Structure 1
Amino acid sequence: MTDTIDTSSTLADRAAIADTLHRYTAGLDLDDAELLASSLTADAVVDLGPAMRRIGYDFPPLTPRETVVEALIGAVGPLDTSHAISNIRYDIAGDTATVHAYAQANHFKPGTGSDPAVTRHALMMNRYTATMVRDGEQWRIRHLDIANAWFEGDPLMLLGQ
């Protein structure tokens, strides 16, 4: 009976952890600061530096949650974006988890993403490495490192240019 309980608990944790990644990316895609904030601890650190340096920009780690939300919603929120999370791997130890995933994100200028004539975009495949902690029934990101696997398009799109 213990194995069944452990398995159910592990599956529930995995679903809740995946939901955390989906809240993070949906917050960006939907320009929803509250949804994005729900995925982060108060002392969260989001380090986009490895991804941004790969395409020629220096970007410092963002912390705490309010700074992360303000910076990311300000930069990505207005764009027409879509993020897709895949290949989630989990290492859960009690109330802490290390999570690895891929995030593919396409970015278009505001209002142009559904126009088939528009070809200017920024498409990224990033590797997420997150440390998450259990917060009641939810998991939240305490630290997120984002490294770029590949990039296609115009990097200036990410700077709102």
Structure 2
Amino acid sequence: MSVSLSENVANKLAIVDSLYRYAAGIDLKDPELIKGAFTEDAVSDFRPAGAKAGFEYPVLEGKETIADALLNSLKPIVTTHSVTNPRVTIDGDKAYLEAIVEAQHLPESDPSRHYLMKNRYDVELLKQQDGWFICRVTVDNVWRTGDPTVLAGV
């Protein structure tokens, strides 16, 4: 079955929107927005980026776990995430999204310090009844600058 151009564009926008929801949920510290970007059994793997920053971060499984872990670890940190260069491939009810995400981190207690990361996000998505949702996201770091101890809440 052939997909119309307008349906293809709408799917691509909805796919990229899942990553926008995730990023906005982190920045707004909104657990429902974060969870709303994921499938129930989603997997988040920040290990490649974490290793380059000098710390270990576990693979997170399940949208509740992902939201809780992110919000707890980033509680003392102000963040801004900017999503750019999204590239989408759709295969039926599955999709793949590659994007660059710039993540700025500043401690609430000392905004003169920062840690800026330019990360590559590799995202697998599933189309469900009410839209596209992330089932797996792997984050690798392209470059970084600043004080990595900011991520530890120090």
Gaps of 5+ in 2: none
Q: For residue 143 of structure 1, what is the amino acid of its counterpart?
A: R
Distance 2:76 2:11 in 1: 32
1:66 aligns with 2:64: yes
Aligned pair count? 154
Q: For residue 103 of structure 1, what is the amino acid of its counterpart?
A: V
Q: What corresponds to 2:6 in structure 1?
A: 8
Q: For residue 19 of structure 2, what is the amino acid of its counterpart?
A: L
Q: CA deviation at 1:58?
A: 1.5
Equivalent residues in 2 for 1:75-94, closer than 5 Å: 75-94=73-92
Structure 1 pair 23/111, CA: closer, same or farther in 2 (3 Å)? farther
1:44 aligns with 2:42: yes
Query: Are the counterparts in 1 of residues 16 and 97 from structure 2 also a CA contact under 8 Å?
Result: no
Q: CA deviation at 1:77?
A: 4.4
Equivalent residues in 2 for 1:79-118, closer than 5 Å: 79-110=77-108, 113=111, 118=112
Query: Are the counterparts in 2 of residues 30 and 77 from structure 1 also a CA contact under 8 Å?
Result: no
TM score, norm. by length of structure 2: 0.94
Percent same amino acid among aligned pairs? 37
Q: CA deviation at 1:18?
A: 1.3
**SS of alignment partner, residue 86 of structure 1:** strand
Query: Are the counterparts in 1 of residues 115 and 145 from structure 2 also a CA contact under 8 Å?
Result: yes
Q: What corresponds to 1:160 in structure 2?
A: 153
TM score, norm. by length of structure 1: 0.90
**SS of alignment partner, residue 151 of structure 1:** strand
Q: What corresponds to 1:136 in structure 2?
A: 129
Structure 1 pair 149/95, CA: closer, same or farther in 2 (3 Å)? same
Q: CA deviation at 1:112?
A: 5.2
Structure 1 pair 111/12, CA: closer, same or farther in 2 (3 Å)? farther
Distance 1:159 1:112 in 2: 13
Q: CA deviation at 1:97?
A: 0.3
Structure 1 pair 139/111, CA: closer, same or farther in 2 (3 Å)? farther
Superposed CA offset, 1:2-38 (max 9, x none): 97x6111110001101110100000000000000000
Distance 2:147 2:40 in 1: 33
